[in-house]
Amino acid sequence: MPENTSKVSMEKLVSLCQRRGFIFPSSDIYGGLSGCWDYGPVGVELKRNIKEAWWRATVQERDDIIGMDTSILMNSKVWEASGHIKSFSDPLVECKNCHMRWKADDLTENKCPACGGTLTEERMFNTMFKTFIGPVEEDAAIVYLRPETAQGMFVNFQNAVNTSRKRLPFGIAQMGKSFRNEITTGNFIFRSREFEIMEFEYFVKPGTDEKWFDYWVEERLKWYAKLGLKKEHLRLYQHPKEKLAHYAHSCTDVTYLFPHGWAELEGIANRTDFDLKQHSVASGKSLEYFDDETKEHYIPYIIEPSVGVDRAILAFLCDAYDEEPDKDEIRVLFHFHPDLAPIKVAVLPLSRKENLAAFARDVHATLRPCFTTQYDDTQSIGRRYRRQDELGTPYCVTIDFQSLEDNMATIRERDSMNQIRVPVAALKNTLQAKLAGEDLFVLPEGGKIWKQGSNE
């Protein structure tokens, strides 16, 4: 595989995602809505798992970060103070001939990509969506759909300090819907108009910010690697000073090798004391911190790692995608990390005969409280394995007629296609151990293993 090529094309991925119920265009039966996507029954599980893994690593497993869930609509003064009303804009040009509008940064030539016509001068276009509170559409009632979740955390800084009693350095994390009226959307879910962000604001003592910035760049890279993203598909990109966002002192992107090339997956910014200072001045409320060790009052600096959930989903989908020769065919599968796999266990009865089906349904009933499962009794067992491979299901449990006699079931592994036969009573613990990544796996009494390719 050449170094700068993704294993899967975007067309293939989009089609597989639609066919298997990961992601559909929004309002599909009406022709879709540009830049908006719906997650299907499998996609919603993948999304929940990615968010859950982020929350666990960011909030649950740390002493120094607390969670929040702030509102999407906020007082418009927030966006004035944050600089979004003035600066959250893209430079746009318009074709004098066909009147299409283009993002000036995206153009390599000074003519319209659609018709070749001449372009106007650049004009700034604010990418926040506006709406109104109350029944009368008057200026006083204008509110914005948030383009990021960060501001909800800045304006709650004192609430967080007072109620959590955390001392610096500490962070506030949240995830949630964000909206941007992007001029150009595309590359599937990479750039949308409605998307989710997972981000946290890590408040530190000024002077220690660079150390913490480096720390978080490393930690965030480790998080992706732990969940299976290949190290060679991740790179860091340091923004040159002249291209930084209005609030940032420095910013490093974690970039990923998407099918359309290397692009930003996550941004890690040193936002200095910009945000708290702005909100302090605009609201008239002090957002200073009292350091009881040094007896100083100061405004903390903020390090902010921020990733789009949908972009993370795209990266995990691309990275897990695989095609393998299998006899005369090609086996398509997702090698998802077990924590991320949408379906953990599929229960597959070999036949629909009532005695076998009843047995399989009982097995399913004992497993479904513990794992996200699927019960599938349609088509041949080979096709069902293929379907589960395309969903990235790590384990299939097959119930055959022998099971009725010896009370054993077969576990088939997605990646190796090896099969092990274990007593039904040991299924839950065995699957739990395997999903938790236990390398040293001991077969329960009476268990048996078939390696791929062996004829035993």
Q: Which is closer to ligand GAP, CB of 212 or CB of 395?
A: 212
Three-state secondary structure readout of the chain: CCCCCCCCCHHHHHHHHHHCCCEEECCHHHCCCCCCEEECCCHHHHHHHHHHHHHHHHHHCCCCEEECCCCCECCHHHHHHHCHHHHCEEEEEEECCCCCEEEHHHCCCCCCCCCCCCECCCEEEECCCEEECCCCCCHHHEEEECCCCHHHHHCCHHHHHHHHCCCCCEEEEEEEEEECCCCCCECCCCECCEEEEEEEEEEECCCCHHHHHHHHHHHHHHHHHHCCCCHHHEEEEECCHHHCCCCCCEEEEEEEEECCEEEEEEEEEEEECHHHHHHHHHHCCCCCEEECCCCEEECCEEEEEEEEHHHHHHHHHHHHEEEEEECCEEEEEECCCCCCCCCCEEEEECCCCHHHHHHHHHHHHHHCCCCCEEECCCCCHHHHHHHHHHHCCCEEEEECHHHHHHCEEEEEECCCCCEEEEEHHHHHHHHHHHHCCCCCCCCCCCCEEECCCCCC
Interactions with ligand GAP, residue window 177-196 (CB under 6 A): 180, 182, 191-192, 195
CB of 264 to ligand GAP, least distance (A): 5
Q: Which is closer to ligand GAP, CB of 311 or CB of 414?
A: 311
CB of 390 to ligand GAP, least distance (A): 25
Interface residue with ligand GAP among 252, 306, 373, 374 (CB under 6 A) is 306
Interface residue with ligand GAP among 45, 90, 199, 376 (CB under 6 A) is 199
Q: Which is closer to ligand GAP, CB of 180 or CB of 434?
A: 180
CB of 242 to ligand GAP, least distance (A): 17
Binding mask 239-278 for ligand GAP (x = CB under 6 A): -------------------------xxxx-----------
CB of 311 to ligand GAP, least distance (A): 4
Q: At what angle do helices 309-320 and 43-55 cross, to 10 degrees?
A: 110
197 binds ligand GAP (CB under 6 A): yes
Q: Which is closer to ligand GAP, CB of 308 or CB of 349?
A: 308
Q: Which is closer to ligand GAP, CB of 36 or CB of 370?
A: 36
**Amino acid at the residue 228:** G
Written as six digits, the tokens of 48 are 């929940």
279 binds ligand GAP (CB under 6 A): no
Interface residue with ligand GAP among 90, 148, 209, 275 (CB under 6 A) is 148
Q: Which is closer to ligand GAP, CB of 248 or CB of 367?
A: 248
90 binds ligand GAP (CB under 6 A): no
Q: Which is closer to ligand GAP, CB of 39 or CB of 359?
A: 39
307 binds ligand GAP (CB under 6 A): yes
CB of 14 to ligand GAP, least distance (A): 16
Interactions with ligand GAP, residue window 150-169 (CB under 6 A): 150
CB of 196 to ligand GAP, least distance (A): 8
CB of 182 to ligand GAP, least distance (A): 5
CB of 187 to ligand GAP, least distance (A): 10
Residue in the structure block whose two tokens are 């968010």:
51
Q: How do 301-308 and 296-298 pair as beta strands?
A: unpaired
Interface residue with ligand GAP among 209, 273, 310, 400 (CB under 6 A) is 310
Which whole-number Å values give the CA distances from 293 to 159, 172, 297, 411, 425, in the listed order? 21, 22, 11, 57, 57
Q: Which is closer to ligand GAP, CB of 119 or CB of 314?
A: 314
Q: Which is closer to ligand GAP, CB of 266 or CB of 376?
A: 266
Q: Which is closer to ligand GAP, CB of 308 or CB of 338?
A: 308
CB of 189 to ligand GAP, least distance (A): 7
The residues of the shown chain that bind ligand GAP, judged by CB under 6 A, are 148, 150, 180, 182, 191-192, 195, 197, 199, 264-267, 304, 306-308, 310-311
